[in-house]
């Protein structure tokens, strides 16, 4: 055994030495810009393969479980599958992965904003396994969040392996995310737009080519292995006429309000599950909610792509297949009520899946809700006012509109819907519906479903350069600790002695336990510090003053700068639970700001 260990250690040392030599050779002979292109190609290949693997696993599990279910009656197995899937996923995450892998897109945003674009290596496979089980067993979520996390982790790991700078690592993470979307949807333009609008990476001369290459590479792999068919087969049998534009505008407003409901219902349910401490009870609660909803409304099973395909191709009655409402499939009122209940309950089914321990994203749910909402809008108007609106076209527009609003990504919503369905002939109404829907939700929610959690904590990197750089700065890195502290009981003589040993003109006053009591400014005691007659009679407690404000450890830099602006101070003390830590100064922040801005914007 010892011999085997020795051989393994020798091999490891040899490998490390060879890898180091290769890295040195690359630095000498391959320019960074050229190497970034090579890395983007590799990221596109690996992320494209990962997307294929995820789609195959989900389809295989789902077909295995549902192939023999009846379409003309309710299926009680729907009460079992989601619970089993969420339970298996919870056990896998809890005892194998041992890390929180939910909210994949939010985790990628956090890595970009707060962790120098570094993701853990297990994210390259753990989300694939967990989400395939969750969705295959009927969890009402999408595979796109997990594949974004997987692709981003591939990009991050490759960049770290080749010791790329944080600026290049950020681009590699974006390449991986774009490739994941492009590979799973066969939508290279949408993949790139996702990185720009949702992950909020800047489109610069350095980033544009890698993003394009990784997206196109992943989409090419998807087309090579699965054919050139679009994800959702759509034939525009009813041409769009401009006289329908007022209805498209109304659809945009309607979808914006539906998106607002979807976002807030998701957040409400997430807060509900966060309060449940026992993981087993949380899993049973989430699984039970999903199982009941899927039994009543089978379109909620899994991603729901079959229902989307049915609606955008005019197969209206198939929406109730496999449900207890099957006998009433020809009744327009029953159909309308059923579809309304489906897109209303989707938010609860999706959040219960993730809250119970499942792993999945909100891409597919937003597409699903949009399709249902668009169809409901047109079908309801046709039924009530005897109009002839195309339910197929409006279902397609609803997909783009809800995705644009939920993700706060109007361009991605438009191009993703067009690439998914081939519905480029509807480009103008897609633009109108998406823009109106996005504008509607922006009146109520300034952040997307992915970014609001990070924005509330001040941890979100945005296109706003000042805010982005302040987000990258950390209070811990700008604290200065070379200030000499004094005690309130010290005499003026002792204070003068401290001043003589210090190169600062500011002195924190602390008690025996380190609590900050105040500060002494040199300018405030200059008129008495050269009066020996006061040396024994004056004490620090008499001439100390309170600082205009204090900074708490852990505060965001944006909040720190607002405190500086409101007080007009140049130096402010930093405390942790009331105990003195150090001082932070504007000059230190400005120097760090300039350094980070120069580092992240050089092209």
- Report pLDDT digits (tens) over 105-123: 878 877 776 667 789 899 9
* CA atoms of 307 and 299, how far apart (whole Å): 6
Coil vs helix vs strand at 65: helix
- Give rounded-to-5 percent helix, strand, coil for the chain: 65, 5, 25
Handedness of CA 283, 288, 294, 300 (dihedral sign): negative
Arithmetic mean of pLDDT, 138-150: 92
* CA atoms of 155 and 146, how far apart (whole Å): 14
Q: Which two tokens stand for residue 280?
A: 């087993």
Question: In this model, does residue 230 exceed pLDDT 70?
Answer: yes
- The DSSP secondary-structure symbol of 532 reads G
HSE (CB half, 13 Å, CA atoms) of 63?
6
Residue with the two structure tokens 């993003």: 211
**What is the model's pLDDT at position 4?**
43
pLDDT band at 368 (very low <50, low <70, confident <90, very high): very high
* CA atoms of 449 and 309, how far apart (whole Å): 25
Arithmetic mean of pLDDT, 101-107: 80
Longest CA–CA separation in the chain, Å: 102
* CA atoms of 231 and 238, how far apart (whole Å): 20
pLDDT band at 7 (very low <50, low <70, confident <90, very high): very low
The answer to whether 187 and 420 are in contact (CB under 8 A) is yes
* CA atoms of 593 and 586, how far apart (whole Å): 10
The answer to whether 243 and 249 are in contact (CB under 8 A) is no
**What is the model's pLDDT at position 233?**
77
- The DSSP secondary-structure symbol of 545 reads B
Burial of 566 (0-12, 13-18, 19+ CB in 10 A): exposed
**What is the model's pLDDT at position 154?**
95
* CA atoms of 558 and 449, how far apart (whole Å): 22
**What is the model's pLDDT at position 87?**
95
Question: In this model, does residue 603 exceed pLDDT 60?
Answer: no
Q: Name the packing angle between helices 144-161 and 166-185 (round to 10°).
A: 140
pTM exceeds 0.85, yes or no: no
DSSP of 500-520 = HH-S-SEEEEE-TT-BEEEEE
Question: In this model, does residue 507 exceed pLDDT 60?
Answer: yes
Q: Which of 55, 39, 300 is nearest to 181 (CA)?
A: 55
Cα-based distances in Å from 392 to 244, 309, 396, 544, 584: 14, 10, 6, 75, 60
Residues whose CB is less than 8 angstroms from the CB of residue 363 and which lie 6 or more positions away in sequence, other chains included: 142, 143, 144, 145, 403, 407
Q: Which of 455, 461, 453 is nearest to 267 (CA)?
A: 453
Residue 552 pairs with which residues in a beta bridge? 575
Question: In this model, does residue 374 exceed pLDDT 60?
Answer: yes
**Among 1-5, 264-268, 275-279, 393-397, the least confident range:** 1-5
Any alpha helices (H) in 123-228, and if so which ranges? 126-136, 144-161, 166-185, 188-197, 208-226
Strand ranges, E, within 403-515: 506-510
The answer to whether 440 and 434 are in contact (CB under 8 A) is no
Cα-based distances in Å from 197 to 233, 409, 451, 527: 26, 5, 11, 59
Share above pLDDT 90 across residues of the chain, in percent, rounded to a whole number: 44
Q: Mean pLDDT in the chain?
A: 85
Burial of 494 (0-12, 13-18, 19+ CB in 10 A): middle
Question: In this model, does residue 8 exceed pLDDT 70?
Answer: no
Q: Which of 138, 169, 539 is nearest to 299 (CA)?
A: 138
**Among 99-113, 539-553, 567-581, the least confident range:** 99-113
Question: In this model, does residue 24 exceed pLDDT 70?
Answer: yes
Strand order in the sheet with 551-552: 551-552, 571-576, 579-585
Question: In this model, does residue 462 exceed pLDDT 50?
Answer: no
**Among 75-89, 472-486, 501-515, the least confident range:** 472-486
Per the document, the length of the chain is 603
**What is the model's pLDDT at position 453?**
67
* CA atoms of 170 and 148, how far apart (whole Å): 14
The answer to whether 73 and 321 are in contact (CB under 8 A) is no
Q: Which helix (H) or strand (E) holds 406?
A: helix 391-407
Q: What confidence tens digit (pLDDT) does each residue in 34-62 have?
A: 899 999 999 999 999 999 999 999 999 99
């Amino acid at each position: 055994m010892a011999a085997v260990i020795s051989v393994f250690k020798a091999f490891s040392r040899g490998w490390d030495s060879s890898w180091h030599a290769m890295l040195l050779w690359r630095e000498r002979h391959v320019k960074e810009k050229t190497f970034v292109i090579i890395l983007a190609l590799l990221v596109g290949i690996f992320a494209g393969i990962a997307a294929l693997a995820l789609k195959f696993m989900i389809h295989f599990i789902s077909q295995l479980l549902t192939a023999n279910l009846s379409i003309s009656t309710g299926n009680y197995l729907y009460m079992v599958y989601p619970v089993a899937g969420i339970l298996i996923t919870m056990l896998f995450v809890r005892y194998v992965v041992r890390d929180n892998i939910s909210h994949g897109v939010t985790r990628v945003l956090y890595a970009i904003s707060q962790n120098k674009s570094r993701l853990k290596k297990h994210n390259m496979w753990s989300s694939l396994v967990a989400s395939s089980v969750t969705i295959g067993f009927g969890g009402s979520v999408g595979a796109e969040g997990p594949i974004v996390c997987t692709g981003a982790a591939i990009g991050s790991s490759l960049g770290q392996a080749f010791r790329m700078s944080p600026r290049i690592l950020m681009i590699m993470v974006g390449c991986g995310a774009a490739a994941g979307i492009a590979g799973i949807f066969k939508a290279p333009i949408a993949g790139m737009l996702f990185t720009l609008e949702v992950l909020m990476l800047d489109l610069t001369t350095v980033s544009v080519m890698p993003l394009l290459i990784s997206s196109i590479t992943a989409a090419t792999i998807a087309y090579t292995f699965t054919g050139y068919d679009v994800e959702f087969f759509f034939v525009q049998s009813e041409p769009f006429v401009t006289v329908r534009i007022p209805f498209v505008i109304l659809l945009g407003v309607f979808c914006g309000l539906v998106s607002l409901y979807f976002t807030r219902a998701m957040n409400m349910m997430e807060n509900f599950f966060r309060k449940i401490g026992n993981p087993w009870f949380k899993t049973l609660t989430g699984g039970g909610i999903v199982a009941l909803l899927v039994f009543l409304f089978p379109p909620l099973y899994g991603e729901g792509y079959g229902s989307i395909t049915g609606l955008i191709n005019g197969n209206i009655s198939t929406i109730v297949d496999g449900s207890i409402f099957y006998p009433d499939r020809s009744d327009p009122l029953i159909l309308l009520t059923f579809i309304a209940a489906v897109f209303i309950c989707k938010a609860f089914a999706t959040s219960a899946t993730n809250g119970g321990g499942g792993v999945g994203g909100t891409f597919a749910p937003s597409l699903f809700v949009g399709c249902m909402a668009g169809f409901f809008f047109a079908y309801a108007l046709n039924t009530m006012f005897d109009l002839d609106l195309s339910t197929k076209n409006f279902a397609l527009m609803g997909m783009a509109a809800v995705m644009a609003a939920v993700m706060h990504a109007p361009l991605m919503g438009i191009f993703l819907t067009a690439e998914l369905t081939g519905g480029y002939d509807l480009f103008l109404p897609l633009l109108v519906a998406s823009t109106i829907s996005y504008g509607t939700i922006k009146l109520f929610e300034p952040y997307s479903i992915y970014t609001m959690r990070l924005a509330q904590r001040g941890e979100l990197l945005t296109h706003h350069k000042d805010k982005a750089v302040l987000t990258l700065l950390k209070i811990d890195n700008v604290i200065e600790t070379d200030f000499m502290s004094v005690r309130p009981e010290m005499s003026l003589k002792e204070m003068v002695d401290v001043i003589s040993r210090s190169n600062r003109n500011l002195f924190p006053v602390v008690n025996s336990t380190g609590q900050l009591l105040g500060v002494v400014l040199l300018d405030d005691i200059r008129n008495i510090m050269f009066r020996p007659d006061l040396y024994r009679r004056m004490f620090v407690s008499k001439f100390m003053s309170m600082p205009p404000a204090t900074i708490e450890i852990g505060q965001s830099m944006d909040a720190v700068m607002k405190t500086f602006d409101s007080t007009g101070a140049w130096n402010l003390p930093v405390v942790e639970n009331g105990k003195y830590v150090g001082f932070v100064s504007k000059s230190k922040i400005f120097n760090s700001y300039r350094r980070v801005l120069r580092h992240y914007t050089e092209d």
